[in-house]
């Protein structure tokens, strides 16, 4: 394969015909494959078989709490200790609650809009609110903002985190910017991890809003492909050192450690923030599912065991990422029509087509039976200004299906790119069409 841009028009047209035939072969297979969401595969879920067996013994927590009954709002002491250790915060600085960290983020923002975040400043919702959204980013963060009518400001996500020059400039002058979304480790979807310098700058930066908050969604905190974890600087400590102890809320969950529908979610922050949150949550509920917390603590026992468990996950996930990356490299490596990330952990590969091609690629793949995340989803309001980013989620399908899906995806990328190159040469806007003679050959 060679750089497609250097090929003459006849050669490109020849390739195009050949690719259309391949594409049609895929369509005939009537595939029904889904790579749209980052879900653990069944084998990963099986790693936690036996999770609830620990409950057969008894239902008492270490302090004698009967976990079948009401109460225990902040979470069981042993669960706060275990996950506090993993997130490098004190047990008093973490709440274990429910099964979804996304729900914790959603509710925290709802409360901030209604009541403010610190009891000193006005509820956010009294005035227009903006959030910084490093992009490509996580579509469900953006959906929360859109739902609550929070204006999203796109910030470029670089290889070491958000573009901090841009972030610092914006937050220093605009009091309506109340927060920033961050997926600091193995980010969704680009897979990057924030550098120490970026963490320090986020903690230290001067914000015009005195009640500015960082929403630190550390969903992939322990999801490394290698035994040696990719390091991430402790943001809570950095905020304390920078004299902004209350600036950050850290979120995580065991959705991709044990069960995505029945794990534990957690939020960590300064003691002051945690105390305030606990009081507010007491209005919402009498207590979380402590049986699930007890099951998790008994299943893992130690933070070290959680890390070992994550290596077992990696053993399933890594070959899938390798397969995708090898196919991309072999088929597209020299064609100069796309770039992609090579993550060291997490759940996603971020793929960039030539500008203006992503929507068409996703549509073509869908028409042939492979569902990908909607193009644009990785940007605020679902609008990718360059229409080029596609999130690839390789974890769920079995290897054989993943291979087929990626082969089709690559054909779609090549077809749409060639169409674009040819249209640009002809001075037309790219429009994907099957040439009459190709159709004749296909049928
Ligand atoms: C960055 C990020 N945060 C949060 C979630 C969802 O977390 P939870 O299952 O704890 O609600 C996901 C799921 O894909 C994610 O990628």
Contact 347, 44 (CB under 8 A): no
CA–centroid distance, residue 101 to ligand 1 (Å): 7
A 10 A CB-CB count for 93 gives: 20
| Helix/strand/coil for 34 | strand
pLDDT of residue 124: 98
Residue 302 has pLDDT above 70, yes or no: yes
For ligand 1, whether the C-beta of 188 sits within 6 Å is yes
Helix or strand or coil: residue 91? helix
Preceding peptide of 136 cis, ω within 30°: yes
Question: What mean pLDDT comes out for the span 43-51?
Answer: 97
Query: Is 395's C-beta closer than 6 angstroms to any atom of ligand 1?
Result: no
CA of 398 to the centre of ligand 1 (A): 22
Question: CA nearest 124: which of 115, 137, 133?
Answer: 115
Do residues 209 and 178 make contact, with C-beta atoms less than 8 angstroms apart? yes
CA distances from 332 to 24, 351, 363, 393 (A): 20, 12, 20, 18
* Residue 219 near ligand 1, beta carbon < 6 Å: yes
Residue 438, pLDDT score: 40
Q: What ligand 1 atom has the least distance to the C-alpha of 183?
A: 1
Q: How far apart are the CA of 71 and the centre of ligand 1, in A?
A: 26
Task: Look at residue 435 in the predicted model and tell me its pLDDT.
Answer: 41
Rounded to an integer, what distance in angstroms lies between the CA atom of residue 411 and that of residue 266? Answer: 42
Evaluate if residue 442 carries a pLDDT over 70. no
Residue from 100, 101, 133, 223 whose mutation best tests the ligand 1 pocket (most atoms within 8 A of CB):
101
Q: For residues 414-429, give the mean pLDDT.
A: 91
Q: Which of 191, 255, 268 to mutate to test the pocket of ligand 1 (most atoms within 8 A of CB)?
A: 255
pLDDT of the residue at 429:
55
Stretch 279-299: mean pLDDT: 97
Predicted confidence (pLDDT) at residue 278 exceeds the cutoff of 60: yes
pTM reported for the whole predicted model: 0.95
Pick the atom of ligand 1 nearest to 37's CA. Answer: 14
Name the average pLDDT for the chain. Answer: 95
Would you place residue 272 in the very low, low, confident or very high pLDDT band (cuts 50, 70, 90)?
A: very high
**Do residues 179 and 172 touch, judged by C-beta distance below 8 A?**
no
Instruction: Report whether 35 contacts 372 (CB < 8 A).
Output: yes
Query: pLDDT (tens digit, 9 = 90+) per residue, 20-44?
Result: 999 999 999 999 999 988 999 999 9
Q: Is 101 in the pocket of ligand 1 (CB under 6 A)?
A: yes
Is residue 141 over pLDDT 90? yes
Return the pLDDT at 399. 96
User: How does pLDDT run across 82-97, given as a tens digit for each residue?
Assistant: 999 999 999 999 999 9
Q: What is the pLDDT of residue 418?
A: 98
Is the distance from CB of 191 to CB of 143 less than 8 angstroms?
no
**pLDDT (tens digit, 9 = 90+) per residue, 354-375?**
999 999 999 999 999 999 999 9
pLDDT (0 to 100) of residue 269: 98
Does position 437 have pLDDT exceeding 70, yes or no?
Answer: no
- Each domain of the chain, given as residue ranges in start order, spans 4-44+314-424+432-442, 61-301
Q: How far is the CA of 222 from the centre of ligand 1 (A)?
A: 13
- Mean pLDDT, range 232-252, rounded to an integer: 98
pLDDT at 443 over 50: no
Fold designation for 61-301: 3.40.640
SS (H, E, C) 259-320: CCCCCCEEEECCHHHHHHHHHHHHHHCCCCCHHHHHHHHHHHCCHHHHHHHHHHHHHHHHHH
Three state DSSP letters for 139-182: HHHHHHHHHCCCEEEEEEEECCEECHHHHHHHHHHCCCEEEEEE
| Tokens found for residue 168 | 């610092």
* Rounded Cα gap, residues 36 and 392, in angstroms: 7
CA 219 / ligand 1 centre spacing (Å): 6
**Cα angle for residues 251, 255, 256 (degrees, 5° grid):** 105
CATH number of 4-44+314-424+432-442: 3.90.1150.10
Beta strands, E only, 12-124:
33-35, 94-96
pLDDT bin (cut points 50, 70, 90) of residue 441 is: very low
Q: Is the CB of 253 under 6 A from ligand 1?
A: yes
Closest residue by Cα to residue 267 from 197, 213, 209: 213
Ligand 1: distance of its center to the CA of 102 in Å? Answer: 6
pLDDT band per the 50, 70, 90 thresholds, residue 249: very high
């Amino acid at each position: 394969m060679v750089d497609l841009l250097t090929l003459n028009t006849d050669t490109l047209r020849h390739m195009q015909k050949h690719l259309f035939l391949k594409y049609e072969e895929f369509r005939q297979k009537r595939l029904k494959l889904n790579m749209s969401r980052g879900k653990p595969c069944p084998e990963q879920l099986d790693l936690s078989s036996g999770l609830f067996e620990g409950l057969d013994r008894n239902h008492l927590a270490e302090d004698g709490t009967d976990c079948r009954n009401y109460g225990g709002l902040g979470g069981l002491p042993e669960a706060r200790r275990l996950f506090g250790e993993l997130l490098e915060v004190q047990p008093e600085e973490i709440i274990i609650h429910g099964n979804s960290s996304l729900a914790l983020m959603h509710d925290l923002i709802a409360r901030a809009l209604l009541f403010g975040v610190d009891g000193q400043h006005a509820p956010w919702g009294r005035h227009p609110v903006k959030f910084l959204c490093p992009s490509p980013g996580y579509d469900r963060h953006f959906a929360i903002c859109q739902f609550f009518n929070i204006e999203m400001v796109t910030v470029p996500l670089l290889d070491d985190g958000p573009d901090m020059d841009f972030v610092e400039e914006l937050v220093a002058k605009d009091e309506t910017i109340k927060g920033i979304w961050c997926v600091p480790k193995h980010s969704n979807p680009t897979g990057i991890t924030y550098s120490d310098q970026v963490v320090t700058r986020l903690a230290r930066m001067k914000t015009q809003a005195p009640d500015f908050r960082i929403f630190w969604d550390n969903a992939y905190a322990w999801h490394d492909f290698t035994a040696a974890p990719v390091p991430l600087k402790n943001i809570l400590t950095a905020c304390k050192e920078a004299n902004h102890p209350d600036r950050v809320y850290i979120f995580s969950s065991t959705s991709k450690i044990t069960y995505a529908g029945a794990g534990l979610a957690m939020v960590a922050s300064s003691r002051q923030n945690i105390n305030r949150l606990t009081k507010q949550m007491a209005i919402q509920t009498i207590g979380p599912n402590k049986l699930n917390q007890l099951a998790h603590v008994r299943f893992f026992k130690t933070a070290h065991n959680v890390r070992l468990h994550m290596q077992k996950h990696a053993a399933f996930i890594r070959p899938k990422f390798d397969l995708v990356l090898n196919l991309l490299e072999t088929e597209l490596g020299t064609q100069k029509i796309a770039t992609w990330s090579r993550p060291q952990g997490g759940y996603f590969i971020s793929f960039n087509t030539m500008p203006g091609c992503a929507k068409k690629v996703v549509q073509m793949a869908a028409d042939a039976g492979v569902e990908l995340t909607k193009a644009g989803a990785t940007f605020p309001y679902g609008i990718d200004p360059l229409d080029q980013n596609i999130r690839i989620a390789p974890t769920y399908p079995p290897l054989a299906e993943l291979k087929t899906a990626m082969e089709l995806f690559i054909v779609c990328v090549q077809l749409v790119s060639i169409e674009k190159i040819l249209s640009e040469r002809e001075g037309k806007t790219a429009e994907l069409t099957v040439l009459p003679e190709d159709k004749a050959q296909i049928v």
